[in-house]
């Protein structure tokens, strides 16, 4: 950070303290400030905890910088704003099972799309993307299954099993790309 930004952040700290003492809500500066200042001062409204480390030089030749650093740290330590408590997000078991059902349905579609993608020719460029998408969706479903959430559907379509099979295929493709011949063939999933 350059000195201009340090000075601007210090003045924002003082403004935030003054607003809090008067019982007003602090609004960070938006005009004539850099992206860093906007980012840093957004933390002065009580939604996050801040920590600062001040380093000092033992050399007498750096006395002015040491004094300024101590003053800066003093101002920063006096910034005390009550923390806003975040609302607790709870999900019901029924909403999670609906999400798992939706993921399983989407996973079937994505796996079918991946299986039907040719491994040669112009369309082969989509194999990796479709495989990655299928692995990602299977992983989301697997995490819900590991939490003990049951799907509303009667089908026995395990995201964990599909994830393991897709990951094994991905490993085959990776090993084949390391092969100087570059030839690979994926066996059909069960």
Chain segment 110-127, per-residue pLDDT in tens: 888 888 888 788 888 887
Max mean pLDDT among 31-40, 59-68, 69-78 falls in 59-68
Distance CA 109, CA 49 (A): 44
45 vs 86, more confident? 45
Cα torsion 92, 94, 100, 106 to 10°: value is -120
Q: Does 37 have pLDDT greater than 80?
A: no
Distance CA 104, CA 163 (A): 11
pLDDT score of 190 more than 50 = no
- Which residue matches tokens 């570059």? 182
Whether pLDDT at 188 is above 60? no
């Amino acid at each position: 950070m350059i000195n201009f930004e340090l000075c601007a952040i210090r003045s924002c700290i003082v403004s935030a303290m003054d607003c809090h003492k008067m019982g007003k809500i602090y609004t960070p500066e938006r005009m004539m400030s850099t992206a860093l200042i906007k980012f840093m001062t957004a933390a002065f409204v009580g939604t996050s905890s801040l920590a600062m480390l001040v380093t000092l030089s033992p050399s007498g030749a750096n006395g002015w910088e040491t004094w300024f650093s101590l003053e800066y740290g003093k101002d920063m330590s006096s910034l005390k704003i009550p923390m806003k408590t975040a609302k607790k997000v709870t999900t019901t078991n029924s909403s999670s099972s609906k999400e798992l059902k939706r993921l399983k349905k989407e996973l079937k579609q994505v796996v079918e799309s991946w299986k039907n993608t040719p491994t040669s020719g112009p369309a082969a460029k989509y194999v990796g993307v479709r495989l990655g998408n299928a692995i990602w969706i299977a992983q989301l479903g697997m995490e819900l299954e590991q939490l003990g959430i049951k799907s509303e559907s009667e089908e026995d379509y395990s995201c964990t099993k599909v994830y393991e099979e897709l990951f094994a295929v991905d490993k085959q493709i990776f090993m084949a790309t390391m092969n100087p011949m570059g030839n690979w063939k994926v066996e059909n999933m069960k």
